[in-house]
């Protein structure tokens, strides 16, 4: 007996209002988007989360210190910058 595989593509129109906000947010996060709630009903997945903004700021400060400071001063600056964000060396 032989078997046959059949693939069928179906287009379905879905109203976004039929879904719960949390389900949509979970789906976007599952796809790799960062979702930040701006107000009661508005979401944005194009804007960085608070943690991502904080990490970018931390990395920027470390980069500046690395470029500007000499070796001894960079170590001290490195420790101070990390301490500002709650990381202790």
pLDDT 10s digits, 9-47: 877 777 777 888 788 888 888 888 777 766 655 556 666
Query: Is the Cα dihedral 62, 68, 74, 80 positive or negative?
Result: negative
Closest alpha carbon to 65 in 49, 50, 84: 84
Other CB atoms within 10 A of residue 51 CB? 9
Distances (CA, A) of 38 to 17, 42, 86: 18, 6, 26
Q: Provide the token pair at 88.
A: 């202790």
pLDDT in tens, 39-88: 655 556 666 777 888 888 888 988 998 889 888 888 888 888 888 888 87
């Amino acid at each position: 007996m032989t078997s046959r595989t059949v693939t069928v593509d179906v287009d379905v129109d879905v109203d976004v209002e039929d879904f719960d906000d949390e389900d949509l947010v979970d789906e976007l996060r599952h796809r790799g988007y960062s979702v930040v709630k701006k107000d009661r009903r508005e979401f944005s997945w194009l804007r960085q989360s608070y943690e991502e903004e904080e990490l970018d700021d931390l990395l920027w400060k470390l980069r500046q210190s690395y470029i500007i400071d000499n070796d001894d001063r960079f170590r001290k600056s490195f420790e101070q910058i990390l301490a500002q964000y709650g990381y202790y060396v």
